[in-house]
Structure formats: structure tokens, C-alpha cells
Amino acid sequence: MPKTLKITSHGVNFETNKDHWLNELRILEAQKLSIAEGGGARAVERQRSQGKMLARERIEYLIDAETDFHELGSFAAWEMYQEWGGAPAAGVVTGLGRIEGRECVIVSNDATVKAGAWFPATCRKILRAQEVAMENRLPIVYLVDSAGVFLPLQDEIFPDKEDFGRVFFNNARLSAEGIYQISAIMGSCVAGGAYLPIMSDEALIVEGTGTIFLAGSHLVQAAIGERIDNESLGGAEVQVDVSGVVDDRFPDDRSALDHIRARIGELAHPTMAPFDRREAKAPEPELDSVLGVMPVERSNPYDTHELLACLLDASEFTEYKATYGKTMVCGTGRIDGWAVGIVANQRKIVYRRRGLEAGKQEMQIGGVIYSEAADKATRFISLMNQKGIPILFLQDVTGFMVGSKSEQEGIIKDGAKLVNVVANSVVPKITIFIGNSFGAGNYALCGRAYGARFFYAWPSASISVMGGDQASKTLLAIQLKNRGDEISESEKAALLHEIKERYWAAAQPRYAAARQWFDEIIDPRETRAIISRSIQAAAHQARIEDFKVGVLQT
């Protein structure tokens, strides 16, 4: 039977935590608004003077009224490419939007950012959008307005497997899988980028602003001496009426977007995966309570059950093996009516029973994965695959337990079993980085490399190979190894502080989001709605593969 979870830790710390995270969320929202300004007022005015809508305006017009665009990757390229003036949101807006009632992936170039040129981060972001479409069998809409590859960085975007060419590879694979793609050429579409709309199932172009060609007028003149303007070379009339490369032409952005809506509305309705869903019930704690549970200091303990009380329908949770492997919390509940399996770290100190002797207990550190916790999670994940229940991973993990005792208990073997089953899990996985995500703990609880359908992070997240204190001391020891007694204690302290600051800066959520180690930084209070939408998107992939694993060391 499910147990109703409650919050028992109300007090000064609870209110302090809540105030801190409310302020952090205000900062986060202000930064997102700044990102949404794209290349700035002058670039915006230039685009409007051409009669073009902005990237986000196109999306807002395209999606159904009174629905939300679920943006992914808004912090992509955050504080990167500063020598080139930056690239807000990597110069492209991506995410999920409902069009005629259908969930779609939308990719919209932001021409206010370097004329929509592709930076390396732009390429990764579009590849991720295509991955979301592929894994969840969602139609994908490309709103093309791009000058092509950002030439100063061409060596970082052009030839490798996960570079520019992979986008067109994905075009071909999506089409072969029967996943509908439609493109609207609403501005420049140049060189290799011209293949993206033409490899889509349907392609449209806007008259007067849309152009598509393998080489623009300047390159044509340099290459073969021909003098011609861009409109005569690859404008709407040429590419629709003469070459037949593009299917239809439209007088303005809005009429092209209206046509996309009509095309999406004609699509056959997919068979949905049979994930169980019932009428939703609100959690018992107030909405802001989740902010009070999460400590400001990442090293401070808290009871994961209290966090789950804020996320689960009616705060009800059926725990799996509650008295075994206590540093891992596993169990089932519902989020917005959807049945979900939960795998989360327990962050408070717990006690492990030692043998059958009465009163014999052993203290275990919260957030650390011990052998029996790994064993429990492995069994639970296998069970969720057997029952066809999506899995939610909540990461606040400092890694696997180390030391002679853990090695003798077989921590490597138990950790390997957990990583194996996570890698081979076939039900939809959603990962949320809520706190620490260190070392192999990141892998074991379905980090970026382990194929979750969606990855999100709270502002409290921190991703690195190990904790800042341990890493900084290790790096300091390496630097001092051959320096002997030449450095004073005060110099050592200053150097340690410098290393620690630099290390922690690289572990912060915006740094990780800039490099697209997860899809979006989210407000913890919106977690339930975001998980629900993610499961609904994942349900479009109706066919669930047979669950099987390779060799497990027993």
C-alpha cells in the first residue's frame, strides 16, 4: 500500500532555503529574458525592417493558442564565444510545441544572432532536437533563417561524426522512420545548410525574404565569374516555379506558418504507448515547499522522502525494499496521474543493519551509493522494465563508496550491474539533476551518456567528476609535487582557493547547460508539469523493445 509522505522539517532552515531559491529563480528568469533578446535591439530592428518575424514570434504564432512552448537548451552557449560577441541560445530556439493538438519538435533559427550562423553549440543543439524527435517519434518543424556555418569556427563544426553533416544524416533517418519533417525557408539558407529543408518531407519558402542556394552571389562570382543577385539566384520564384526544388511559396511568414499548421493537422494520429494514467491529484504540501526542502549548501543532508512529498500525486509513495540499501530510495507513485518509478539518492545519514545481532548498526553517508543500494536499484529498474513503467531518476549523488570494506563487498561489481541495467533499460527514462552529480554516480543514475529521453536540472545542480574540495586538494597536490618546500603555507592556501573557485565555476548548472549536458534548467516548482509533458511526448514511441541485459557478474 502507498504511504502518504509528509514534510516534518519546517523551521528556520526551511524558510532560509526557500528564500534563497526564490531569489535564484528570479535571477534565472531575468537571464532567460535576456537570452530571449537574441542579438540585441539593432539586430531585431533590422529583421523587422525586412518584414520578418523573430524566431520566438514565429514559434508563438505557430503553436496552438493557450498552450506553452516547452523550450529546450535556452542556456546553450551561455558565456561562450565571447571573442565573437557571444551567441545567445546558440542562435537557435528549440523545444516542444503543440500544433493542431500534436506535440512537435520545433527548430527556429534566430537571425538576430550573427545572421543565424551555426556555431559548434548550434550544431549540437539541433542534433539534440532531432534526437528528441527520433526517440519519441515526434514530427519536427524547421523554421530556417541562417547564413550557414560560422566560418571562423568551421574546423570545429564541419567534418566529424557529430558535426554539421550529421544533421542531414538525421534528416534521412527521420524520413526513413516515417517521422514527418517540414521546413519553411524564411530567410537565408546557404551552402550545406540548404540540404536540411530539401531533405525534409516538405519544404516551403517565403517570397522576398527566403533564398536557398549552394553558393551565394559573391561566391558564384568568385568561383565562375557570373554576376547575379541572390533573389535571381535562389529566391522563391526561382526555386518553386523554375527548379522545383521547393514545394510551395508564400507571401509572408504568417501565411507560411498557417500552411505548416494545416499540414501538421492532416497527419495520421499515432498509436500511443500504454503507460498507465489516472486522474491527477495535487501533492499535499504547498507549491513552494519543494524550495524549502532543498538545502542551500549542497553538502547538507535532507530527507529525500520530503522532496518526493512535493512531487507525487497526493504525496503517495509505494517504496521498494525500504529497509534495505537505504542510501537509495526506490519506489512507485504518480505524477500528474502518470505511473512512474522513482530512483533517487537518500541524502540524510542512514543506518545499515549488520547481520542478525540485535542493535548492531553501521552509519552510512547520504548521497553515496553502497553495494546493497546499487543492488536494490538494479533490481528495481529491471522490475520497472518488466511492468512497462517510465522511470524518473533524481540525482543528488556524490559517487560510489570507496575504501577497503567497500572493495571487499564488491562495490565495482554491484556498480557495474547498475550501470548495465540503466544502459539497457527500454522504458522512457527522465533524469533530473537536483543536487550533486559526481563521478560514476552520474552514470549509474542515468546521466547524459545513458540515453534518457529528457534531462533537466534544478538551479541547485552541480555536475563534476568529484566534489570540489576533494578535486581541488588533488589538483593542488599534483601542482606541488615537484616544488618541495619552495611555497609557503599562505601561498598554498591562495593557490588552493584559486583552484577551488575555478573548479566550482565549471560545476555550476549554467556551465553545464551551456555545453548541453542537460536540456534545460527548470524551476523546481514546475517539475511535475515538465515530467508530465515529457512522459506524454515519450508515449508517442508506442513500441517498447524487449528488455534484456548482457553478462552480469553475480
In a 13 Å sphere around the CA of 210, the CA atoms on its Cβ side amount to: 28
Give the pLDDT of residue 401.
85
Of the pLDDT bands very low, low, confident and very high (cuts 50, 70, 90), residue 550 is confident
Calculate mean pLDDT across residues 166-174. 96
Of the pLDDT bands very low, low, confident and very high (cuts 50, 70, 90), residue 477 is low
Q: What is the pLDDT of residues 370-401, one digit of tens each?
A: 999 999 999 999 999 999 999 999 999 988 88
Q: What is the DSSP letter of 297?
A: S
Integer Cα distance of 110 and 143 in angstroms: 9
Could you tell me which of 266, 274, 276 has the C-alpha nearest to residue 139? 266
Calculate mean pLDDT across residues 428-457. 95
Integer Cα distance of 286 and 525 in angstroms: 10
3-state secondary structure 370-395: CHHHHHHHHHHHHHHHHHCCCEEEEE
The label of the residue with cell 529583421 reads 47
Q: How many CB atoms lie within 10 A of CB 377?
A: 29
Mean pLDDT for all residues in the chain = 92
Q: What is the pLDDT of residues 483-499, one digit of tens each?
A: 665 677 776 676 666 77
Of the pLDDT bands very low, low, confident and very high (cuts 50, 70, 90), residue 548 is confident
Q: What is the pLDDT of residues 1-47, one digit of tens each?
A: 899 999 987 788 999 999 999 999 999 999 999 999 999 999 999 99
Q: Does position 160 have pLDDT exceeding 90, yes or no? A: no
Pairing of strands 202-206, 454-457: unpaired
Integer Cα distance of 206 and 188 in angstroms: 10
Calculate mean pLDDT across residues 268-278. 95
Lowest-pLDDT range of 136-140, 385-389, 536-540, 549-553: 549-553
Q: What is the pLDDT of residues 202-211, one digit of tens each?
A: 999 999 999 9
- Do 305 and 283 contact (CB within 8 A), yes or no? no
More confident residue, 358 or 99: 99
Q: How many CB atoms lie within 10 A of CB 215?
A: 16
How far, CA to CA in Å, does 177 sit from each of 136, 154, 181, 374, 393? 12, 30, 11, 36, 29
Calculate mean pLDDT across residues 402-412. 84
Calculate mean pLDDT across residues 151-159. 87
Integer Cα distance of 43 and 55 in angstroms: 12
Integer Cα distance of 59 and 184 in angstroms: 12
Q: What is the DSSP letter of 499?
A: H
Give the pLDDT of residue 109.
97
